[in-house]
Structure 1
Amino acid sequence: MRRAGRKQHYHHGDLRAALVDTAIELIAERGVAGFSLAEASRRLGVAVSAPYRHFADRQELLAAVAVRACEVLTDTVAAESADAHTSIEALVAAARGYVRFGVEQRALFEAAFGSALDRPRHPELVRATGPLKDAFLGAALDLSDGDPDRAGALALAVATTAHGHAVMAHLGAFGTGPDAAELAIGRAGDATRALLTGRRAIPPLPNALHLDTP
């Protein structure tokens, strides 16, 4: 599984990767709003102009962090889903993996979903969301008799349920002790299972397969 940050010092010739790692560290400490290219440069000990050899601006570096976030999220969902034997179990596991990522990789979660990136400007980010969408949509299509509009609506409902649980976990809705994360993950799985039981009541959503959402 990919790690959020490799925690390694900058080595000549690998500045781009070092900037991504440092951005993740700064976001973890200060949030997306408190992150700047200048601070990343200072932490790495390079000239403030150095990052511009790799990123045109702050938003481009945040997009690279968001790509990393999508990769880690996809890996987390895949690991959670590895033992799923039915489409229902696959979607329940996908929701659990989504929340696990949200609570265990909060900086990456914030970078991916809290930075107000202009996604059409960053096609690499749109591409990075593809495997994650597939993880939800494949099982949703199976549960929707192959109807893409119903499958898209179902996948979006499950992803929204998972996202909501991750956000509520950040707000302390499941407590703040050592068991809070697992409680949030378990409740997301329970909510998804309940949602899937009543899935036929979810109306189709045309073009949901093409919505630009992670």
Structure 2
Amino acid sequence: MAGRRGYHHGDLPAALVRTSFELLAEQGLPSFSVAQVARRLGISTASPYRHFRDRDHLLAAVATAAARELTEAVRAATDAAGADPADRFAAAGSAYLRFAVGRGAGFDVIYAAELAALRDEELATAGRELMDLFTGLAEATGARSKPETLELVGNLIALAHGYAALYRNGLFAAGRYRLEDLAAQAENGARALTRGATPR
């Protein structure tokens, strides 16, 4: 069966996560099912449950992968941005935007409320590493209180995620905005955030 060529023996968990990303990007979280993933891979509907207890545990693995990939993308972008803290913070915003657009609805699973009850340790660790990275970048732009630093991080994520969501929904298509244009706007907005937040 053609679907079986999508993975090698022993790599089924990775194939399940990868295919879940594809399906989430195509149809979103509400319509997602483990059975659909199995059918696309050409395996029995029981096979995924040998590796993931249920739908939510598979989604937690997807969210963990997304958080780790985003962390890597942000690190690569900030390393390329140089030493200036404002430039690095701005690069984090554009990296978030590009990643969210590239992953589509598969990225949104990071914020799925139903996964919180699982208390999945790998997902929690991946989320902490991502937030620690953003927090460190924010702290480097100026001395602030902890609540102010966290607010700055929240504003950056809201800015980049908002641009990504609007781009994915087609709003910017009418104005013929390219992703590069929005990435530049996200960077400008991130720099403005660091200037607008008063260091203490």
Partner of 1:109: 107
Are the equivalent residues in 1 in contact too, given 2:28–2:106 (CA < 8 A)?
A: no
For residue 10 of structure 2, the aligned residue among 4, 10, 13 is 13
Partner of 1:131: 129
Partner of 2:40: 43
SS for the counterpart of 2:30 is helix
Which deviates more, 141-150 or 78-87? 141-150
In terms of fraction of residues, the more helix-rich structure is 2
Mapped pair 1:184 → 2:156: no
> Could you say what the CA RMSD is over the residues aligned between the two structures, in angstroms?
2.2
Separation in structure 1 between the aligned mates of residue 147 and residue 198 of structure 2, nearest angstrom: 12
Partner of 1:119: 116
Mapped pair 1:199 → 2:180: no
For residue 56 of structure 1, the aligned residue among 48, 53, 56 is 53
Greater RCO structure (CA 8 Å; 6+ sep): 2
Are the equivalent residues in 2 in contact too, given 1:69–1:112 (CA < 8 A)?
A: yes
Partner of 2:146: 148
Paired AA for residue 108 in structure 1: G
Separation in structure 2 between the aligned mates of residue 12 and residue 155 of structure 1, nearest angstrom: 41
Partner of 1:207: none
Separation in structure 1 between the aligned mates of residue 170 and residue 41 of structure 2, nearest angstrom: 33
Separation in structure 1 between the aligned mates of residue 166 and residue 34 of structure 2, nearest angstrom: 30
Q: 1:139 to 1:40 in 2, by over 3 A?
A: closer
Separation in structure 2 between the aligned mates of residue 152 and residue 28 of structure 1, nearest angstrom: 29
Partner of 1:163: 161
> In the TM superposition, what is the alpha-carbon distance from 1:176 to its structure 2 partner?
6.4
SS for the counterpart of 1:118 is helix
Partner of 1:175: 173
TM-score by length of structure 2 reads 0.86
Q: 1:182 to 1:39 in 2, by over 3 A?
A: same
> In the TM superposition, what is the alpha-carbon distance from 1:61 to its structure 2 partner?
0.5
Are the equivalent residues in 1 in contact too, given 2:74–2:96 (CA < 8 A)?
A: yes
For residue 96 of structure 2, the aligned residue among 95, 98, 109 is 98
> In the TM superposition, what is the alpha-carbon distance from 1:178 to its structure 2 partner?
7.9
Count how many residue pairs are aligned between Structure 1 and Structure 2: 194
Are the equivalent residues in 2 in contact too, given 1:84–1:93 (CA < 8 A)?
A: no
Are the equivalent residues in 2 in contact too, given 1:63–1:117 (CA < 8 A)?
A: no
Are the equivalent residues in 2 in contact too, given 1:140–1:155 (CA < 8 A)?
A: yes
TM-score by length of structure 1 reads 0.81
> In the TM superposition, what is the alpha-carbon distance from 1:100 to its structure 2 partner?
0.8
Are the equivalent residues in 2 in contact too, given 1:95–1:192 (CA < 8 A)?
A: yes
Separation in structure 2 between the aligned mates of residue 120 and residue 84 of structure 1, nearest angstrom: 39
